[in-house]
Amino acid sequence: MMKQISKIKVFTSIVMGLFFIAGAAWAGDVRTARVEAQMARERLAKEAQAEKAEALEEARKIQAEIFADRAKLKQAVAEMEVKSKGLAQETDAVEKHIAELDARNKELTKEVAIAEADVKELLGFIRSNAKDLDALLLQSPQSALGLDPRIEGIRKLSQGQGYPSMDDLSLMVELLVSEIVHSGQVRREQIPIVTREGKTREAQVMTLGNFSAMASLDGDADFLLYSEPSQTFFQLSKPSPARMRAQLADYMAGKTETVPVDVSRGAALRQFAHRLDYKEQIKSGGLIVWPILFIAVLACLLVIERLIFLLRVRTNVDVLMEKVVTLARQGKWDACMQACTQKGNRPVPLVLAAGLSCRGRCRADMENILGEAILRQIPRLERFLPTLGMLAAIAPLLGLLGTVTGMINTFHVITVAGTGDPRLMSGGISEALVTTMLGLAVAIPVTVAHVLLSRMVERNVAQMEEKSMVLVNELCSEPAGNVSVEKAA
């Protein structure tokens, strides 16, 4: 098509040239021009025919090529359509497979996430148990007797280092079973311990499971406490009571099967270090304690003296009275006096002797004489009892005074240092409580002793009054002849 268009342009340009030539030659030779023009037209016509034929041939070829190309294109389009359909099917199959793979991927991802969560949970559980096992072994007194060196691997595992293997799990089970077995055994080992002086010495140590441990050092047995940081046993800062130490020594020597055990795993034993003895308690009470102690000592001496006296002057008055009455009815007055005087300086026999000495007088005189004899014996019996009553009343008052002074000291400390440190206030509070405690501790037994001694005195006075009335009645009921004979004698 492009060649045909170019030929038409050439033909048009030739025609236009001829017109220009014809116009130029018109004036010279019209005929010649016509002939030449005719020849030129023929020549141009031939050329045009030739070019037309050539153009047609070329157009035919081009058309044939176009038809051929069109057929090829149709065939190619058909092939492409077939191929496209095949590719579309393949694409659908691939997309379907991709969708299946996506679904499978989601399922696998979910399973992997679940598996990872299970693994993380299991790993956390194993590490948590490893940490608990490590803490259990460190807190166990059995560690002081020898710790398995393989625990270091468990310790690293508990700290998040490394991944647990089956060997680690087997080791954890082995260590736990070993700890369970040892916690139910009584073990005896020769190991170093820390003494009260802070020195390390070898000692014979016996453990009662995981509850208590004891050691015999220089023949003295006592409890031990376990230190987790150093994994060693150390003695109590203060010795336990002597009775408990004796029981421990007997148990370690195999002399007894009973032994005191601290089920709190050291908490109760640590209280011994904070336990105050009597001297420390007295010192914490301040100056008021000493008057209270003086009252206590004085009251004890008075109670002992009165108790000894009242026990010494006690007599079996019923037997004595029966004997005196029997002898009086027989008129054996010397024997009656001897029965009364041989009892020594006892109140009831002395009163009866005073009554027998005035047996010839009237009833009123005899009663007066016996009353005077009873009154003479009462001061002996009631000696120091008012003093005991006074001491029993003074002791709690001194305790109250110590309470007041202790609280004054406490408020003074609060004024100076505030309430930030309770230990600063403990001195005044201790003084207040200790003095009150000592005051009541002295007053209560002194009061009880005073009451008991008063009852004993009252019983003696009642016996003197009763037996004196029995004697008066017996003497006044004697026949007049017996009395006159005695007077004559």
What is the C-alpha end-to-end distance of the chain, expressed in Å?
Answer: 202
- Write down which residue in 232, 248, 275 finishes a domain: 275
| 372, 407: one domain | yes
Average pLDDT on 158-185 reads: 76
Place of tokens 């004196």: 468
| 300, 204: one domain | no
Angle 175-180-186 from CA coordinates, rounded to 5°: 120
Cα separation, 347 vs 268, in Å, equals 56
Cα separation, 251 vs 208, in Å, equals 11
Task: Report which residue type is found at 26.
Answer: W
| 303, 267: one domain | no
Tens of pLDDT, residue by residue over 428-448, are 677 778 888 888 999 999 999
- Write down which residue in 66, 89, 117 finishes a domain: 117
Q: Report pLDDT for 319.
A: 74
| 96, 28: one domain | yes
Range of the domain at 239: 187-275
Tens of pLDDT, residue by residue over 447-467, are 999 999 999 888 888 888 877
Residue 233 lies in a domain: yes
Cα separation, 191 vs 196, in Å, equals 16
Average pLDDT on 113-141 reads: 78
Place of tokens 């166990």: 140
Q: Report pLDDT for 296.
A: 92
| 337, 470: one domain | yes
Residue 171 · residue 177 · CB < 8 Å: no
Per the structure, the count of domains in the chain is: 3
Token reading at 208 = 């009662």
Q: Report pLDDT for 485.
A: 32
- Write down which residue in 117, 143, 171 finishes a domain: 117
Q: Quote the distance between the C-alpha of residue 212 and its chain's center.
A: 18
| 246, 349: one domain | no
Place of tokens 């109670």: 303
- What lies within 8 Å, CB to CB, of 124 at 6+ separation is none
Cα separation, 351 vs 320, in Å, equals 12
| 265, 402: one domain | no
Tens of pLDDT, residue by residue over 344-387, are 677 777 777 777 777 777 888 778 887 888 888 888 888 888 99
| 433, 477: one domain | yes
Cα separation, 336 vs 318, in Å, equals 14
Token reading at 267 = 């908490």
Residue 176 lies in a domain: no
Place of tokens 């005195």: 457
Residue 378 lies in a domain: yes
Residue 19 lies in a domain: yes
| 258, 305: one domain | no
| 433, 311: one domain | yes
